[in-house]
Amino acid sequence: MVYALTRSGWRVIAGTTMRTTSLPRIALDSHGLATPITADATGLSVSPRRVARAHASILSLDPRATSAQDDGKLARIVGPAAYTTQAAADTRAEQRALRGQWTMAIDVDVAPTLYALRTHDGGAVVWYALRERLIVCSLTNRQPISFNRPSTAALSKGRLFHEQAMAKAAGWYVAAIPPASSSPTANGRATILGDWHSYLSVTDTIPDGGCTPRQG
């Protein structure tokens, strides 16, 4: 959990769950409080903002995510993990299963505010939120589709979709970023340590005039 002092006292502003790995040791100031840093802080192998943007690019399945981004090579920014490359691979597998009947597109963007703290070794820990929108569009109108994960099945109430559907989700993630002095190889990349993810809605209403997915 991340707490901030507001006009109404201390409040939780971000949080994630950790599976196995613990957070790096947080640097404290003379008052025993954590040391915040900005989204574009220097002295790190990569800035907190670039980590969040790279993560969003990986999950979005944008074709550019396998090559160069304006942030540089994604593989040099975020290391492979269950929350990044494995999650993207799972979505690609779902795409392949639907091929010929449905197209699937997923848009992922970074929420405006992120929270980063300096670690004892000069690195950082950053919490950021990603917003997801998954759109599926029928190519034939002959094979209906349903959402079978427990959360999406509950949100859709077991409904079958015949033409189009959209699922919205959001998640908080926490990443550890090494200091700039780290090795430029695997140890110099950010590592996603935990998340808190939830689907928000499943509907057949798609903005911008209906079903116009970018990829299949």
- Give me the residue spans of the domains in the chain: 18-203
Crossing angle of helices 48-60 and 85-98, in 10° steps, is 20
The pTM assigned to this predicted structure is: 0.83
Give the pLDDT of residue 12.
Answer: 74
In the block, residue with structure tokens 């091929």: 99
Give the pLDDT of residue 69.
Answer: 43
Give the pLDDT of residue 109.
Answer: 93
- State the alpha helices, DSSP H only, in the chain: 48-60, 85-98, 150-156
For residues 193 and 23, is the Cβ–Cβ distance under 8 A? yes
Residues of the chain with pLDDT under 70: 1, 5, 13, 15-20, 62-73, 75, 182-187, 209-210, 212-216
Give the pLDDT of residue 63.
Answer: 57
Give the pLDDT of residue 195.
Answer: 87
Give the pLDDT of residue 182.
Answer: 57
| Residue 67: CB atoms within 10 Å | 9
Structure tokens at 31: 């008052």
Query: What b/e string do you get for 77-115 counting C-beta neighbours within 10 Å, with b at 16 or more?
Result: bbbbbebbbebbeebeeebeebeebbbbbbbbebeeebb
- Going from the C-alpha of 137 to that of each of 119, 127, 177, the distances in angstroms are 45, 33, 38
Give the pLDDT of residue 64.
Answer: 52
- Going from the C-alpha of 160 to that of each of 104, 112, 168, the distances in angstroms are 16, 34, 17
